[in-house]
Amino acid sequence: MQCHSAWLCSFLLICLFQLTGCGGSSQEIDGFYQAHTKDGVALGMRRYRPSSDHQYRAGRPVLLLPGIVNNINQFDVRSPLGKPYGYQLPADAPAWAQNDSTIAQDNIKFFSMAHYLYLRGYDVWMANFRGVGRDAYASESGHNNTNLDVWCLLDFPVAVEKVVQVTGKKPVIGGFSTGALCAYQYLQGATLNADIVQQGKYIPHVTASDALAWERNQKVAGFIGLDPAGSPKLAYHGIINSPLGWGLLTQNAKVDLDKVLPVALSLLPPVVLAGATDLLFKTISNLASAFPAFLPSWADLFGALNIWSTGNTNGYVEDFMVRHGLSSFYIKGLGQYAEWGINGEVREHWQNGVDCSDNFACRFLLNRLCVEAKRPLVSGAAIRMEGQVAVFDSRLSDSPCYRCLYDESGQEDLRCADNGVLAPVVGIIGSIQATEALKVLAGMGGVLAGRLLVMDAHYMDWRVMKLRKDPECPVCSHD
């Protein structure tokens, strides 16, 4: 293709980009499973094996979920039926790839993560979020209230359940980008009320339960995240203040590339798209800087989305991704995703989230980590009208730790959420805690190391108690 001007080039590339969802299809349904969400949506899942001649692996299950605008195909790169890419294995390809008959039949399979894990004995599972997926493995779309929370908190858990149910084993969970993010939310014990979502009255009311986090963490063998989710650069590009940008991000619309142009990309020879995504975004960025008055600042969004950068990607893989990976595009989901990237936090409406300072399990864990890392722990607690502060400085050999003070068994959680707390008491205790933390950092003054400051606001009575190191303490005594 010859481009006589940047304008024309940009236009053609946009057209190419629009075509991307319309690639060839395969009707194979080998290893097809469905998981049903609490709000009644069927998710498409695939248990990987190279072909129906092969057995499913009996090893550790690995559940992978895709990034936000992709689907499970990205984990199993393969040529569309009857249209081999013609990719040649490099001469220095590893022995496992050169000696594998499946890769010999279609060299593009060299890039398949599913196949790689399969060869190593893992039982590979791939699942699509709702509204995502191609061909037989496509998930149902569900309702219009879908956003990132729905994916993470209604879709992800049932995919895990399905793998556990079929294999009877603890899976490793995770995935690429969004898949990894959702795995993380899952492990945090986050939940969402499916009834509210189903009624179409979706208001983000995400809650988190320590008990559920514990239960879920017991259920899985491990967590893997491929490629970070979100781009911190988004925060610096003025997108947050762009009405147009926010208008786009809050649209309740789905741009279904499969339906926009249902013409197969098979007309284009393989690898023609290699470099196209980079070129497209670079062109837009260049236009934005060359003609700042013409393009609004949000146009640089593309420059900020470094997840699109395919500069280091093999051209065949990029071609595959563009043709067969990008099959759905949820604007609403993208809105939540971008918001997370912009604000640097998973979400803004996190309610009753895991608060490590409000239960004994987290306090004991934090204490253990501080002792192991030889870091001082500035501990503060407040309940009803009482509060206490102490510093446990494990850098000092005679310093007690939190576990020396409290027995791990038989501690009933006294939570502010259940027992209440007089608001100013939290402020007083928090201020003292901050003062002690600053003193520890600056190495000044006599910190409350080995001492427990106790306040009874009822009588405004203050006491300081000396703490002794427990020689039997399972956490710090072995030092």
Which whole-number Å values give the CA distances from 136 to 33, 75, 342, 394, 472, in the listed order? Answer: 10, 16, 35, 57, 60
| Residue 440 or 475 with smaller CB distance to Zn ion | 475
Count of CB atoms within 10 A of residue 73's CB? Answer: 27
| Residue 16 or 401 with smaller CB distance to Zn ion | 401
Pick one of 403, 440, 447, 449: the residue that binds Zn ion (CB under 5 A): 403
Query: What's the closest the beta carbon of residue 365 comes to Zn ion, in angstroms?
Result: 14
Which whole-number Å values give the CA distances from 101 to 50, 104, 391, in the listed order? Answer: 10, 5, 62
Q: Is 150 exposed, middle or buried (0-12, 13-18, 19+ CB in 10 A)?
A: buried
Could you tell me the strand order of the sheet in which 172-176 lies? 32-36, 42-47, 123-127, 61-65, 172-176, 222-226
Query: What's the closest the beta carbon of residue 403 comes to Zn ion, in angstroms?
Result: 4
Pick one of 273, 382, 404, 455: the residue that binds Zn ion (CB under 5 A): 404
Regarding 473 and contact with Zn ion (CB under 5 A), the answer is yes
| Residue 103 or 401 with smaller CB distance to Zn ion | 401
| Residue 259 or 374 with smaller CB distance to Zn ion | 374
Which stretch in 284-292, 383-391, 441-449, 466-474 sits in contact with Zn ion by CB under 5 A? 466-474
| Residue 211 or 373 with smaller CB distance to Zn ion | 373
Number of residues that bind Zn ion (CB under 5 A): 6
Regarding 272 and contact with Zn ion (CB under 5 A), the answer is no
Pick one of 334, 389, 401, 467: the residue that binds Zn ion (CB under 5 A): 401
| Residue 270 or 450 with smaller CB distance to Zn ion | 450
Task: Return all residues near 32 (Cβ < 8 A) that are at least 6 apart.
Answer: 44, 45, 46, 136, 137
* Cβ-defined contacts of 52-60 (< 8 Å, 24+): 56/31, 56/123, 57/118, 57/121, 57/122, 57/123, 57/124, 58/123, 59/120, 59/121, 59/122, 59/123, 60/121, 60/122, 60/123, 60/169, 60/170, 60/171, 60/172, 60/221
Regarding 475 and contact with Zn ion (CB under 5 A), the answer is yes
Regarding 476 and contact with Zn ion (CB under 5 A), the answer is yes
Query: What's the closest the beta carbon of residue 473 comes to Zn ion, in angstroms?
Result: 3
Which stretch in 84-92, 219-227, 401-409, 444-452 sits in contact with Zn ion by CB under 5 A? 401-409
- Considering only CA atoms, which of 320, 402, 311 is closest in space to residue 362? 402
Pairing mode, strands 207-208 and 123-127: unpaired
| Residue 416 or 473 with smaller CB distance to Zn ion | 473
Regarding 363 and contact with Zn ion (CB under 5 A), the answer is no
| Residue 4 or 478 with smaller CB distance to Zn ion | 478
What is the DSSP code string of 75-142? Answer: GS--PPTT----PPPPTT--HHHHT-HHHHH-GGGGG-HHHHHHHTT-EEEEEPPTT---GGGPPP--
In the range 139-198, which residues lie near Zn ion by CB under 5 A?
none
Query: What's the closest the beta carbon of residue 410 comes to Zn ion, in angstroms?
Result: 17
Which stretch in 77-85, 262-270, 287-295, 397-405 sits in contact with Zn ion by CB under 5 A? 397-405
Which stretch in 59-67, 112-120, 203-211, 469-477 sits in contact with Zn ion by CB under 5 A? 469-477
Query: What's the closest the beta carbon of residue 397 comes to Zn ion, in angstroms?
Result: 12
Regarding 366 and contact with Zn ion (CB under 5 A), the answer is no
| Residue 109 or 403 with smaller CB distance to Zn ion | 403
Judged by the rule CB under 5 A, the positions of this chain that interact with Zn ion are 401, 403-404, 473, 475-476
